[in-house]
Amino acid sequence: MTNAAVFRPKVVVIGSINMDLVVRCQRLASPGETLPGTSLQEIPGGKGANQAVAAARLGGDVTMVGKVGNDAFATTLLNSLRQAGVHTDHVATAADCGSGIAIIQVENSGQNSIIVVPGANALVSVDDVHRAEAAIAAADVVLLQLEIPVETVAAAVQLARRHQVPVIVDPAPARTDLPAEILSADWLCPNETEAEVLSGFSVSTPVDAANAATALRTTDQTTVVVTLGDQGAVCHTGEATLHLEAFPVTPVDTTAAGDAFAAALGIAIAKDCLPAMAVRYAAAAGALAATQPGAQPGMPTANAVDQLLDNYSPSQHLL
Protein backbone atom coordinates (compact mmCIF):
# COMPACT_ATOMS: atom_id res chain seq x y z
CA MET A 1 0.00 0.00 0.00
CA THR A 2 3.01 2.34 -0.05
CA ASN A 3 2.05 3.67 -3.52
CA ALA A 4 -1.37 4.80 -2.23
CA ALA A 5 -1.02 8.32 -3.67
CA VAL A 6 -0.78 7.04 -7.27
CA PHE A 7 -4.47 6.11 -7.43
CA ARG A 8 -7.27 7.83 -5.52
CA PRO A 9 -10.18 5.40 -5.21
CA LYS A 10 -13.63 6.93 -5.53
CA VAL A 11 -15.48 6.16 -2.30
CA VAL A 12 -19.14 6.89 -1.58
CA VAL A 13 -20.19 6.79 2.07
CA ILE A 14 -23.91 6.73 2.80
CA GLY A 15 -24.67 7.14 6.48
CA SER A 16 -24.86 9.12 9.66
CA ILE A 17 -23.43 12.50 10.61
CA ASN A 18 -23.42 13.23 14.35
CA MET A 19 -22.04 15.63 16.86
CA ASP A 20 -20.32 13.56 19.53
CA LEU A 21 -20.58 14.86 23.09
CA VAL A 22 -17.65 13.04 24.66
CA VAL A 23 -17.31 12.71 28.43
CA ARG A 24 -13.97 11.40 29.71
CA CYS A 25 -14.18 9.48 32.99
CA GLN A 26 -12.12 7.13 35.12
CA ARG A 27 -14.52 4.27 34.38
CA LEU A 28 -17.91 3.77 32.78
CA ALA A 29 -20.90 4.43 35.05
CA SER A 30 -23.05 1.47 36.10
CA PRO A 31 -26.86 1.70 36.01
CA GLY A 32 -28.05 4.11 38.71
CA GLU A 33 -24.52 5.31 39.45
CA THR A 34 -23.27 8.91 39.33
CA LEU A 35 -19.59 9.49 38.63
CA PRO A 36 -17.51 12.64 38.10
CA GLY A 37 -16.25 13.26 34.59
CA THR A 38 -12.90 14.84 33.81
CA SER A 39 -13.81 16.66 30.58
CA LEU A 40 -16.53 17.29 27.99
CA GLN A 41 -15.82 17.81 24.27
CA GLU A 42 -17.94 18.43 21.18
CA ILE A 43 -16.36 16.38 18.38
CA PRO A 44 -17.80 15.75 14.89
CA GLY A 45 -18.67 12.09 14.48
CA GLY A 46 -21.31 9.66 13.25
CA LYS A 47 -20.29 6.33 11.76
CA GLY A 48 -20.87 7.52 8.21
CA ALA A 49 -18.98 10.79 8.59
CA ASN A 50 -16.18 9.06 10.50
CA GLN A 51 -15.71 6.57 7.68
CA ALA A 52 -15.79 9.36 5.10
CA VAL A 53 -13.07 11.33 6.90
CA ALA A 54 -10.99 8.19 7.43
CA ALA A 55 -11.24 7.19 3.77
CA ALA A 56 -10.22 10.71 2.69
CA ARG A 57 -7.18 10.69 4.98
CA LEU A 58 -6.20 7.34 3.53
CA GLY A 59 -6.15 8.80 0.03
CA GLY A 60 -9.71 8.30 -1.16
CA ASP A 61 -11.74 10.70 -3.31
CA VAL A 62 -14.76 10.62 -1.01
CA THR A 63 -18.40 11.68 -1.41
CA MET A 64 -20.69 11.75 1.63
CA VAL A 65 -24.44 11.11 1.34
CA GLY A 66 -26.48 12.04 4.41
CA LYS A 67 -28.31 14.77 6.31
CA VAL A 68 -27.60 17.35 8.99
CA GLY A 69 -30.18 19.28 10.99
CA ASN A 70 -31.22 22.90 10.94
CA ASP A 71 -29.21 23.75 14.05
CA ALA A 72 -25.96 25.18 15.34
CA PHE A 73 -24.11 21.87 14.98
CA ALA A 74 -24.69 21.62 11.21
CA THR A 75 -22.01 24.13 10.17
CA THR A 76 -19.36 22.48 12.34
CA LEU A 77 -20.27 19.02 11.03
CA LEU A 78 -20.12 20.10 7.38
CA ASN A 79 -16.87 22.00 7.88
CA SER A 80 -15.24 18.95 9.45
CA LEU A 81 -16.08 16.88 6.37
CA ARG A 82 -14.94 19.56 3.94
CA GLN A 83 -11.68 20.20 5.77
CA ALA A 84 -10.87 16.52 5.36
CA GLY A 85 -11.50 16.83 1.62
CA VAL A 86 -14.88 15.06 1.59
CA HIS A 87 -17.39 16.18 -1.06
CA THR A 88 -20.66 17.28 0.62
CA ASP A 89 -22.88 18.02 -2.41
CA HIS A 90 -25.12 15.13 -1.34
CA VAL A 91 -25.42 16.18 2.31
CA ALA A 92 -28.82 17.84 2.71
CA THR A 93 -30.20 19.97 5.56
CA ALA A 94 -33.37 18.67 7.19
CA ALA A 95 -35.82 21.42 8.10
CA ASP A 96 -37.31 21.52 11.60
CA CYS A 97 -34.99 18.77 12.82
CA GLY A 98 -31.77 18.68 14.82
CA SER A 99 -28.54 17.03 13.73
CA GLY A 100 -27.73 13.59 15.08
CA ILE A 101 -26.19 13.49 18.54
CA ALA A 102 -24.07 10.83 20.22
CA ILE A 103 -23.41 10.94 23.96
CA ILE A 104 -20.21 9.01 24.61
CA GLN A 105 -18.55 7.95 27.84
CA VAL A 106 -14.85 7.11 27.44
CA GLU A 107 -13.00 5.57 30.38
CA ASN A 108 -9.26 5.71 30.98
CA SER A 109 -8.75 2.27 29.42
CA GLY A 110 -10.17 3.57 26.12
CA GLN A 111 -13.39 1.55 26.34
CA ASN A 112 -16.63 3.44 25.73
CA SER A 113 -20.40 3.39 25.88
CA ILE A 114 -22.55 5.34 23.43
CA ILE A 115 -26.15 6.61 23.26
CA VAL A 116 -27.22 7.94 19.86
CA VAL A 117 -30.11 10.34 19.13
CA PRO A 118 -30.61 9.98 15.35
CA GLY A 119 -32.04 13.42 14.53
CA ALA A 120 -31.63 14.19 10.82
CA ASN A 121 -30.02 10.80 10.20
CA ALA A 122 -33.44 9.19 10.56
CA LEU A 123 -34.56 11.21 7.53
CA VAL A 124 -31.93 9.94 5.08
CA SER A 125 -34.24 8.41 2.49
CA VAL A 126 -34.28 6.07 -0.48
CA ASP A 127 -34.80 9.18 -2.63
CA ASP A 128 -31.59 10.67 -1.22
CA VAL A 129 -29.75 7.54 -2.34
CA HIS A 130 -31.20 7.69 -5.84
CA ARG A 131 -30.29 11.37 -6.13
CA ALA A 132 -26.69 10.26 -5.61
CA GLU A 133 -26.89 7.51 -8.25
CA ALA A 134 -24.31 9.10 -10.56
CA ALA A 135 -21.75 9.26 -7.75
CA ILE A 136 -22.52 5.67 -6.73
CA ALA A 137 -22.23 4.41 -10.33
CA ALA A 138 -18.81 6.08 -10.66
CA ALA A 139 -17.52 4.77 -7.31
CA ASP A 140 -14.92 2.07 -6.70
CA VAL A 141 -16.56 1.12 -3.39
CA VAL A 142 -19.61 2.08 -1.29
CA LEU A 143 -19.54 2.13 2.52
CA LEU A 144 -22.72 1.71 4.59
CA GLN A 145 -23.70 1.45 8.26
CA LEU A 146 -26.98 1.14 10.20
CA GLU A 147 -27.37 4.59 11.78
CA ILE A 148 -29.77 5.59 8.98
CA PRO A 149 -33.08 3.84 8.08
CA VAL A 150 -32.57 0.20 7.17
CA GLU A 151 -34.69 0.53 4.02
CA THR A 152 -32.30 3.25 2.83
CA VAL A 153 -29.31 0.99 3.42
CA ALA A 154 -31.01 -1.86 1.53
CA ALA A 155 -31.78 0.46 -1.40
CA ALA A 156 -28.15 1.60 -1.48
CA VAL A 157 -26.91 -2.00 -1.62
CA GLN A 158 -29.28 -2.74 -4.50
CA LEU A 159 -28.30 0.38 -6.43
CA ALA A 160 -24.58 -0.26 -6.01
CA ARG A 161 -25.04 -3.86 -7.12
CA ARG A 162 -26.91 -2.66 -10.21
CA HIS A 163 -23.80 -0.67 -11.13
CA GLN A 164 -21.43 -3.52 -10.10
CA VAL A 165 -19.83 -1.46 -7.33
CA PRO A 166 -18.60 -3.45 -4.29
CA VAL A 167 -20.36 -2.68 -1.01
CA ILE A 168 -19.09 -2.87 2.58
CA VAL A 169 -21.70 -2.91 5.34
CA ASP A 170 -20.61 -2.14 8.89
CA PRO A 171 -23.71 -3.56 10.67
CA ALA A 172 -23.71 -1.17 13.61
CA PRO A 173 -25.72 -0.68 15.67
CA ALA A 174 -26.60 -4.35 15.40
CA ARG A 175 -30.18 -5.48 14.86
CA THR A 176 -31.79 -8.83 14.15
CA ASP A 177 -34.26 -7.76 11.44
CA LEU A 178 -31.86 -6.98 8.59
CA PRO A 179 -33.21 -7.74 5.11
CA ALA A 180 -31.43 -10.19 2.84
CA GLU A 181 -30.14 -7.37 0.62
CA ILE A 182 -27.97 -6.05 3.43
CA LEU A 183 -26.74 -9.43 4.64
CA SER A 184 -25.74 -10.31 1.06
CA ALA A 185 -23.45 -7.29 0.66
CA ASP A 186 -20.00 -8.01 -0.73
CA TRP A 187 -18.40 -7.45 2.69
CA LEU A 188 -19.85 -7.51 6.22
CA CYS A 189 -17.57 -6.26 9.00
CA PRO A 190 -19.23 -6.56 12.43
CA ASN A 191 -17.39 -6.41 15.74
CA GLU A 192 -17.82 -9.28 18.20
CA THR A 193 -20.99 -7.85 19.78
CA GLU A 194 -22.64 -7.23 16.42
CA ALA A 195 -21.60 -10.67 15.18
CA GLU A 196 -23.31 -12.22 18.22
CA VAL A 197 -26.56 -10.34 17.57
CA LEU A 198 -26.59 -11.14 13.85
CA SER A 199 -25.55 -14.79 14.06
CA GLY A 200 -26.95 -15.93 17.40
CA PHE A 201 -23.51 -17.35 18.31
CA SER A 202 -21.61 -16.30 21.41
CA VAL A 203 -18.39 -14.59 20.26
CA SER A 204 -15.46 -14.26 22.64
CA THR A 205 -12.61 -16.05 20.82
CA PRO A 206 -11.32 -16.20 17.23
CA VAL A 207 -12.86 -19.67 16.84
CA ASP A 208 -16.21 -18.27 17.99
CA ALA A 209 -15.83 -15.46 15.47
CA ALA A 210 -15.12 -17.97 12.71
CA ASN A 211 -18.32 -19.86 13.56
CA ALA A 212 -20.33 -16.62 13.55
CA ALA A 213 -18.78 -15.53 10.27
CA THR A 214 -19.65 -18.86 8.67
CA ALA A 215 -23.27 -18.43 9.75
CA LEU A 216 -23.38 -14.86 8.45
CA ARG A 217 -22.03 -15.73 5.02
CA THR A 218 -25.40 -16.29 3.37
CA THR A 219 -24.24 -15.91 -0.25
CA ASP A 220 -21.16 -16.99 -2.19
CA GLN A 221 -20.25 -13.38 -2.96
CA THR A 222 -20.07 -12.24 0.68
CA THR A 223 -16.88 -12.03 2.74
CA VAL A 224 -17.34 -11.63 6.51
CA VAL A 225 -14.76 -9.96 8.75
CA VAL A 226 -15.30 -10.02 12.52
CA THR A 227 -13.17 -7.56 14.49
CA LEU A 228 -12.15 -8.67 17.97
CA GLY A 229 -10.33 -5.73 19.53
CA ASP A 230 -7.10 -6.91 21.15
CA GLN A 231 -7.66 -10.40 19.69
CA GLY A 232 -7.35 -9.10 16.14
CA ALA A 233 -9.79 -10.00 13.36
CA VAL A 234 -11.19 -13.08 11.63
CA CYS A 235 -11.89 -13.09 7.88
CA HIS A 236 -14.09 -15.75 6.29
CA THR A 237 -14.21 -15.85 2.48
CA GLY A 238 -15.87 -19.22 2.02
CA GLU A 239 -12.64 -20.69 0.67
CA ALA A 240 -10.69 -20.01 3.86
CA THR A 241 -10.97 -18.54 7.35
CA LEU A 242 -8.02 -16.41 8.46
CA HIS A 243 -7.20 -15.08 11.93
CA LEU A 244 -5.03 -11.94 11.99
CA GLU A 245 -3.59 -11.09 15.41
CA ALA A 246 -3.87 -7.52 16.70
CA PHE A 247 -1.29 -4.79 16.24
CA PRO A 248 0.53 -4.00 19.51
CA VAL A 249 -0.85 -0.57 20.42
CA THR A 250 -2.05 1.03 23.66
CA PRO A 251 -5.68 2.15 23.23
CA VAL A 252 -6.73 5.63 24.29
CA ASP A 253 -10.21 5.83 22.73
CA THR A 254 -11.77 2.96 20.76
CA THR A 255 -14.86 4.96 19.71
CA ALA A 256 -14.01 5.14 16.01
CA ALA A 257 -11.61 2.21 15.59
CA GLY A 258 -14.28 0.21 13.77
CA ASP A 259 -14.98 3.13 11.44
CA ALA A 260 -11.29 3.46 10.57
CA PHE A 261 -11.21 -0.30 9.96
CA ALA A 262 -14.20 -0.17 7.56
CA ALA A 263 -12.84 2.84 5.69
CA ALA A 264 -9.39 1.29 5.25
CA LEU A 265 -10.98 -1.97 4.15
CA GLY A 266 -12.84 0.00 1.49
CA ILE A 267 -9.67 1.68 0.27
CA ALA A 268 -7.87 -1.66 0.05
CA ILE A 269 -10.75 -3.36 -1.75
CA ALA A 270 -10.96 -0.47 -4.23
CA LYS A 271 -7.29 -1.16 -4.98
CA ASP A 272 -8.07 -4.84 -5.66
CA CYS A 273 -6.11 -6.11 -2.66
CA LEU A 274 -6.56 -9.76 -1.76
CA PRO A 275 -8.72 -10.31 1.38
CA ALA A 276 -5.79 -11.08 3.69
CA MET A 277 -3.93 -7.92 2.67
CA ALA A 278 -7.10 -5.82 2.82
CA VAL A 279 -7.89 -6.96 6.36
CA ARG A 280 -4.30 -6.38 7.46
CA TYR A 281 -4.42 -2.81 6.12
CA ALA A 282 -7.79 -2.23 7.78
CA ALA A 283 -6.57 -3.62 11.10
CA ALA A 284 -3.59 -1.27 11.06
CA ALA A 285 -5.86 1.74 10.50
CA GLY A 286 -8.22 0.63 13.26
CA ALA A 287 -5.35 0.13 15.67
CA LEU A 288 -3.98 3.60 15.01
CA ALA A 289 -7.41 5.22 15.43
CA ALA A 290 -7.70 3.64 18.88
CA THR A 291 -4.51 5.38 20.01
CA GLN A 292 -5.97 8.87 19.52
CA PRO A 293 -8.79 10.69 21.35
CA GLY A 294 -11.96 11.59 19.47
CA ALA A 295 -13.54 10.15 16.35
CA GLN A 296 -12.68 12.16 13.26
CA PRO A 297 -9.63 13.92 14.78
CA GLY A 298 -8.08 10.53 15.52
CA MET A 299 -8.34 9.07 12.02
CA PRO A 300 -4.92 8.03 10.68
CA THR A 301 -3.26 9.10 7.44
CA ALA A 302 -2.08 6.72 4.76
CA ASN A 303 1.54 7.43 5.71
CA ALA A 304 0.87 6.53 9.35
CA VAL A 305 -0.75 3.24 8.34
CA ASP A 306 2.11 2.39 5.99
CA GLN A 307 4.63 3.11 8.74
CA LEU A 308 2.83 0.82 11.19
CA LEU A 309 2.73 -1.92 8.56
CA ASP A 310 6.46 -1.48 7.95
CA ASN A 311 7.23 -1.73 11.68
CA TYR A 312 4.93 -4.60 12.68
CA SER A 313 3.77 -7.77 11.03
CA PRO A 314 1.17 -9.50 13.24
CA SER A 315 0.99 -13.24 12.73
CA GLN A 316 -1.88 -14.70 10.76
CA HIS A 317 -3.02 -18.27 10.39
CA LEU A 318 -5.87 -20.35 9.04
CA LEU A 319 -8.62 -21.53 11.38
> Which residues are part of the catalytic machinery?
259
Taken as a whole, the chain contains a residue count of 319
